[in-house]
Structure formats: C-alpha cells, structure tokens
C-alpha cells in the first residue's frame, strides 16, 4: 500500500512538482499564544461552508422552486425523505453557525490587528465574505416559502426600497416585481444556489490564497510557533469534528421548524423578527422616529448602518490616521464599542 502511494506521489510529482508545495507547507508556521484558539475560527468557517455545500446539494435533489411547490417539497424532505429532516436542520443550523464563526474570525483578526499591512486585501475579502454569508442566509431563508420567511423577506426588501433615487428600481430588481411573489422566490433560489456559491467560492479561494501567500500574521516574530502542516491542520480537524457533532445535536434536539405556508393575504404574525444576525440592524431601524428633520428616519438608519459597515471594512486604512502610540487602543475601543452596540441592539430586539 505504502509502495503504491509512493508511486502515485512520484507520478504526480513528476508532472506537477508537488515537492515545492510540500516544502511550502512544511515551512508554514502558526504563532502559539493564549489567543491561538481563535485561529481555528477561520478553518471552522471553511468546514461549515463545505457542510453547507454538501447538505445543500442533497436538499437540491428534492427541493422544487415555486409558490405551489417550495413549501410542499420542504415538508416532503423533512417528513418523507430518509434523513431529509437531518439534512434540512443541519443546513439551517450550519448557516447560522457559519455566520457566527465568520464574525468570530473577523473579530479575532480585528483585536489581533492581523489586518495590518500587508494584509489589507485579506481583510477586505473577509469583509466581502461576511456580506456574502449574510446574503446566503437572507436568500436561503425565503426558500421554504413559509409564513415567517415571506414576511421577513417583505420587511427586508422594503428596506432596499428606501434607498434614494434608485430604491424603487432596486426593490423591483430584488423582488422581480412590486411585491414578494413567486418571481422573488425564483430569484432568491437562483441567487442562493448559483450566483452566491460561485461568488463565495471564488472569493474564498482568493482569501485563502492571500493567507497562504502571506502566512499567518506575527508568525515571524512569535516566541513560539507550531507547524501548519500537519500539526495545526490536525488540531483544526478536531474542531471540525466537534462542530459537526454540535450541529447534529442541534438538529436532533432543536429541528428547524417549517411553520405555516406563506399566505400573501394573511396578516403578519405578531412579534415577527429576522434572524439574529440581522436583528441589531432591524431593531435600530425600528426605534428610529418616522422623520429625522426633513429626511425619513429609515433612510437615515440605512445611511448610518451603511456608514458603520464601511468604517468597519476600512479599519486598515483609517487607523493609520491615529498617532502610532494610540493606534492599538483606538482599534480595541472601536471593536469593543461595536460589539457592545451590536450586542445591546440584538438583546433589545429579542426582548422587545
């Protein structure tokens, strides 16, 4: 066996110069310190993405898109297809955990200041990956065509309509008309299973290429390091196994509910709220007054949320404006204040 593996390796090495790749992997080091555990967040996110792709493909075998088929097919998947309930729940829980780990990964990068030169583009691609993950969540939420999904999409896309000048055009583009209908469902389906996977896979490739090319931040000046291959990768695998088990446990004990089929003529269920990763923004928009001066309150809210997102994404660039001695503290303060505001608004949203 060992002999045939070695022969296969030699055959490939002759053609693709695998030796250089192996040499590169052997020399890659990961810093070891008390915050090293956060390095695994990126790997777990990648694992969860693969889990989403796998369960998503299996769901696609039975899912049918359309106002008269989506809900019924998801019900069929959860009640009739062997292990369909597991695939659907793992897919839904996995999506939430993926957004959670993207956030965790980004926050650890922010607090470790790993976004600094020469890693500005790695940070920016990470921000774009966060946006794409949330878009994945939003588009996938509508696909079962249930009551909650319908109204969450209605409220979410209403916000798009508030954008000045192009708002109505954007709204029609997203919905495929003035209302959330079967046309919206088809668009979201296409977005969820074709456009977003292509974008996210490509961008993740670029992101990983940057990480591999530039190495881990601080690895060159760390007192203690660990080999990336195979030590770090094997430790990463342990986390993947733990996360896989956690997702399965969530699917068994808290299977994702399907609820009632969407009905455009029904009134919105009371206390309807978006997914947790949109809740802080939703709550912020909800508490704003109808008008702030001459401008609609919602419009001001969208501008503030957009500006906050931009400030977050541009950290590597604006932090240089802060005197060097205070730079670390300024970024940490920014990080903690952002976390506190997001946490408080999310908690408020849940409790209100």
- Site residues, another protein (CB under 8 A): 75, 78-79, 85-86, 226-227, 230-231, 234-235, 237-238, 241-242, 244-245, 248-249, 252-255, 257-258
79 or 212: whose CB is closer to another protein?
Answer: 79
- Shortest Cβ 227–another protein spacing (Å): 7
96 or 231: whose CB is closer to another protein?
Answer: 231
240 or 312: whose CB is closer to another protein?
Answer: 240
C-alpha separations of 119 from 122, 208, 266, 287, 324 in Å = 5, 12, 50, 37, 18
- Shortest Cβ 279–another protein spacing (Å): 23
**Contact 111/332 with Cβ under 8 angstroms?**
yes
3-state SS string for 224-265: CEEEHHHHHHHHHHHHHHHHHHHHHHHHHHCCCCCCCECCCC
What whole-number distance in Å separates Cα of residue 216 and Cα of residue 226?
A: 11
What whole-number distance in Å separates Cα of residue 251 and Cα of residue 342?
A: 27
Burial (CB < 10 A; 0-12, 13-18, 19+), residue 40, is: buried
């Amino acid at each position: 066996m060992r002999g045939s593996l070695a022969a296969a390796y030699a055959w490939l090495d002759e053609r693709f110069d695998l030796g250089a790749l192996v040499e590169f992997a052997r020399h890659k080091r990961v810093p070891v310190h008390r915050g090293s555990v956060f390095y695994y967040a990126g790997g777990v996110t990648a694992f969860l993405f693969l889990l989403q792709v796998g369960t998503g493909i299996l769901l696609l075998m039975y899912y049918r898109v359309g106002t008269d088929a989506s809900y019924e097919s998801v019900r069929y998947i959860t009640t009739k297809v062997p292990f369909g309930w597991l695939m659907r729940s793992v897919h839904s829980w996995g999506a939430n955990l993926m957004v959670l780990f993207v956030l965790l990964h980004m926050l650890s990068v922010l607090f470790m200041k790993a976004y600094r030169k020469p890693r500005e583009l790695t940070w920016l691609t990470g921000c774009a990956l966060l946006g794409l993950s949330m878009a994945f969540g939003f588009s996938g939420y509508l696909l079962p065509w249930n009551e909650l999904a319908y109204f969450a999409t209605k409220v979410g896309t209403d916000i798009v309509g508030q954008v000045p000048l192009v708002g109505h055009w954007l709204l029609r583009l997203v919905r495929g008309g003035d209302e959330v209908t079967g046309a919206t469902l088809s668009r979201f389906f296409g977005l969820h299973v074709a456009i977003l996977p292509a974008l996210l896979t490509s961008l993740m490739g670029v992101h990983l290429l940057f990480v591999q090319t530039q190495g881990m931040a601080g690895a060159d000046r760390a007192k203690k390091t660990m080999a990336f291959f195979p030590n770090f990768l094997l430790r990463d695998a342990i986390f993947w196994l733990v996360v896989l088990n956690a997702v399965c446990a969530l699917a068994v004990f808290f299977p994702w509910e399907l609820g009632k089929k969407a009905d455009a003529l029904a009134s919105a269920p009371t206390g309807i709220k978006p997914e947790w990763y949109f809740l802080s923004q939703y709550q912020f928009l909800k508490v704003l007054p109808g008008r702030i001066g001459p401008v609609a309150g919602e419009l001001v809210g969208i501008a503030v949320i957009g500006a906050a997102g931009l400030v977050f994404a541009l950290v590597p660039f604006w932090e240089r404006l802060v005197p060097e001695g205070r730079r670390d503290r300024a970024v940490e303060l920014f990080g903690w204040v952002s976390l506190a505001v997001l946490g408080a608004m999310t908690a408020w949203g849940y409790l209100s």
